[in-house]
């Protein structure tokens, strides 16, 4: 397949690729990102150090990546922060979702600013701790700043994706030197793709039932560097943070890693989570959206021993939270989430036993204004230059807005993205242009397509206001968490120095003390109640400290009874009651006990 001249260049290209991997991280911070204004890792460190000056924030390091970057944690709270219920917020899973890192930093900044100016927020931090991991996978995110820009989600762990005994030997190449790794289409018999009837820039699968015949094969831009007849089958790295977790782990699949929790990043976050029993809830900025798209649920009894679906008992609470998020966010037509395999958001619910919220905070809107004549002319020029076969019927080439003239749903997301780029004046698509490719002598080969990261990371101005909406959401969410109170303690003399003590514990929060999945996974520490007796009093039944059942939200309660015996010379004393759980908080009640006043 390869010509002889290209074959002689393989060794040099492979060596160059390996050297590039070793040096590209050293220069990453000197380069602009794929989308202007986003913070590279060095800038992120400066932002977090500035945030650390607040008396309400504490910056710490959970661990380091293979490239030596810190996995930062910002703790926002007051006093003994680990003794209060916590909300864990995670962003920066990879470069395709870097906006989540930006929003996480902005949320942290707003919280500490509001705590300094707003007594209500300051009071909230007396009761709730926020843990924010703004960039959970720093190495993967740093590819956002490395030219040529390549759409990827993984870190730099060497991997043998094609199982040939070598690692990272056939990465994509920037063949035209424009700084973007885009797509490559090759015209050849047996190709499966044709151009879209509304816009020839978009490639769609041919439908034989409609009389269509494919003409093109699609590849990522690059060459067959290792001479095995395949293109870009073994790129640089690695392991994706959001495919390395234990629930529904995709064994032996690309990006999943050699085993579960194999990476320093996932190990650091998992160790932190298990070490903080006070975490009640996790929110992740991710495409695994369960707030706009509630997962299907099923009763626990129907699922057998191993649970793989949202439990019906927890579904209503997640829907209530989702409704709040949707109202505050204000967005519509959120894209359907991809199938999560090995994701942290699923792990947090099924294996960590916490409420797990996954939010896609931004997406390309579907309602797009009509595109300009300039864009129509550009698309027509591209169609003419490419002499492109398209699906029938052929329509005038133009960036299609929502409700395009064709009823064909194929390529709809691509058309939507092109229309949005045009409406915003964003140069997010590289026009197709012909090249001479050494792997395909005598064939038509064109390079072009969407620029990496631009469809999933908006201009920073699009994030303005979203941070405030998320802070409002987190503040209201904190008010929904369970809150314990002991409103009623009754003492009754039964004669002979024996007394009955009845204490009622109430959950005044909206959510139950734990999700049902937390009970099943046994990863949540249950609510307990303990009684402390004064001198001259002794417990005569059961134990002074007891485990309580899960309390429903909005007034769910339980009453515990203690029998005690007072010494004959007992005059007066105080008994103390405490109910608590690390992820729920604690409440206390002191009751005077005086036999003479009964």
pLDDT < 70 stretches in the chain: 1-31, 160-171, 225-236, 367-407, 596-598
Ordered by where they begin, the domains of the chain are 33-144+237-364+460-479 (3.40.630.10), 161-234+371-450 (no CATH), 482-597 (2.60.40.10)
CB 234 within 8 Å of CB 169? yes
CB 394 within 8 Å of CB 179? no
- Taking the C-alpha atoms of residue 406 and residue 212, their distance in angstroms, rounded to an integer, is 15
List the one residue out of 88, 48, 256, 87 whose CA is nearest residue 157: 256
Q: Which two tokens stand for residue 362?
A: 């931004």
- Taking the C-alpha atoms of residue 76 and residue 66, their distance in angstroms, rounded to an integer, is 27
Q: What is the pLDDT of residue 376?
A: 52
Which residues are within 8 A (CB) of 464 and not within 5 positions of it... i.e. 6 or more apart? none
- Taking the C-alpha atoms of residue 318 and residue 104, their distance in angstroms, rounded to an integer, is 22
Read off φ and ψ for residue 512, nearest 5 degrees: -65, 165
CB 324 within 8 Å of CB 473? yes
List the one residue out of 58, 131, 136, 64 whose CA is nearest residue 93: 136
Work out the end-to-end distance of the chain between its first and last CA atoms, rounded to an integer number of angstroms. Answer: 98
Q: What is the pLDDT of residue 594?
A: 85
Q: What is the pLDDT of residue 221?
A: 87
Instruction: Evaluate if pTM is beyond 0.75.
Output: yes
- Taking the C-alpha atoms of residue 590 and residue 523, their distance in angstroms, rounded to an integer, is 31
- Taking the C-alpha atoms of residue 114 and residue 448, their distance in angstroms, rounded to an integer, is 46
Q: What is the pLDDT of residue 6?
A: 37
Q: What is the pLDDT of residue 542?
A: 80
Which residues are within 8 A (CB) of 597 and not within 5 positions of it... i.e. 6 or more apart? none
Element (H, E) at 84: none
Residue 57 pairs in a beta bridge with 76
CB 206 within 8 Å of CB 190? no
Q: What is the pLDDT of residue 227?
A: 63
């Amino acid at each position: 397949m390869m010509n002889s001249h290209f074959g002689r260049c393989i060794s040099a290209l492979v060596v160059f690729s390996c050297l590039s991997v070793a040096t590209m991280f050293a220069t990453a911070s000197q380069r602009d990102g794929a989308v202007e204004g986003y913070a590279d890792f060095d800038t992120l460190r400066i932002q977090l150090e500035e945030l650390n000056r607040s008396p309400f924030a504490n910056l710490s390091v959970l661990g380091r990546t293979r490239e030596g970057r810190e996995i930062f944690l910002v703790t926002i709270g007051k006093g003994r922060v680990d003794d209060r219920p916590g909300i864990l917020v995670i962003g920066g899973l990879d470069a395709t979702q870097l906006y989540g890192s930006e929003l996480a930093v902005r949320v942290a900044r707003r919280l500490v600013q509001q705590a300094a100016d707003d007594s209500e927020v300051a009071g909230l931090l007396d009761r709730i701790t926020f843990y924010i991991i703004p960039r959970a996978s720093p190495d993967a995110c740093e590819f956002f700043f490395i030219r040529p820009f390549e759409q990827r989600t993984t870190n730099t762990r060497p991997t043998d994706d094609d199982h040939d005994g070598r690692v990272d030997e056939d990465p994509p190449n920037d063949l035209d030197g424009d700084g973007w790794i885009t797509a490559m289409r090759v015209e050849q018999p047996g190709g499966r793709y044709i151009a879209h009837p509304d816009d020839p820039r978009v490639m769609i699968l041919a439908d034989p039932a409609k009389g269509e015949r494919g003409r093109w094969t699609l590849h990522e831009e690059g060459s067959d560097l290792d001479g095995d007849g395949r293109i870009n089958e073994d790129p640089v790295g690695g392991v994706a943070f959001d495919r390395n977790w234990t629930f529904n782990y995709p064994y032996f699949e690309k990006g999943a890693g050699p085993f579960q929790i194999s990476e320093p990043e996932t190990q650091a976050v998992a160790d932190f989570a298990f070490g903080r029993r006070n975490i009640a809830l996790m929110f992740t900025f991710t495409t695994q959206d369960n707030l706009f798209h509630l997962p299907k649920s099923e009763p626990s009894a129907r699922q057998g021993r191993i649970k793989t679906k949202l439990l019906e008992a927890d579904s209503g609470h997640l829907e209530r939270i989702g409704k709040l998020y949707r109202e505050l966010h204000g967005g519509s037509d959120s894209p359907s989430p991809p199938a999560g395999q090995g994701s942290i958001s699923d792990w947090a619910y099924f294996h960590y036993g916490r409420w797990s919220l996954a939010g896609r905070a931004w997406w390309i809107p579907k309602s797009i204004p009509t595109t300009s004549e300039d864009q129509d002319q550009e698309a027509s020029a591209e169609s003419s230059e490419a002499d492109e076969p398209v699906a029938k019927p052929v329509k005038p080439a133009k960036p299609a807005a929502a409700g395009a003239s064709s009823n064909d749903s194929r390529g709809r997301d691509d058309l939507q993205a092109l229309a949005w780029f045009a409406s915003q004046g964003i140069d997010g698509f590289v026009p197709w242009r012909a090249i001479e490719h050494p792997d395909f002598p005598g064939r038509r080969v064109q390079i072009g397509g969407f620029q990496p990261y631009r469809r999933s990371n908006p201009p920073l101005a699009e994030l303005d206001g979203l941070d405030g909406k998320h802070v409002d959401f987190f503040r209201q969410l904190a008010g929904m968490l369970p809150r314990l109170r002991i409103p009623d303690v009754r003492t009754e003399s039964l004669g002979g120095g024996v007394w009955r003590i009845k204490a009622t514990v109430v959950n005044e929060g909206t959510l139950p003390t734990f999700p049902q999945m937390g009970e099943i996974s046994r990863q949540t520490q249950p609510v307990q109640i303990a009684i402390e007796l004064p001198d001259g009093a002794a417990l005569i039944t059961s134990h002074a400290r007891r485990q309580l059942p899960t309390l429903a939200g909005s007034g769910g309660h339980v009453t515990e009874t203690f029998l005690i015996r007072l010494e004959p010379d007992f005059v007066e004393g105080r008994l103390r009651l405490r109910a608590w759980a690390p992820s729920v908080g604690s409440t206390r009640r002191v009751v005077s006990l005086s036999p003479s006043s009964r």
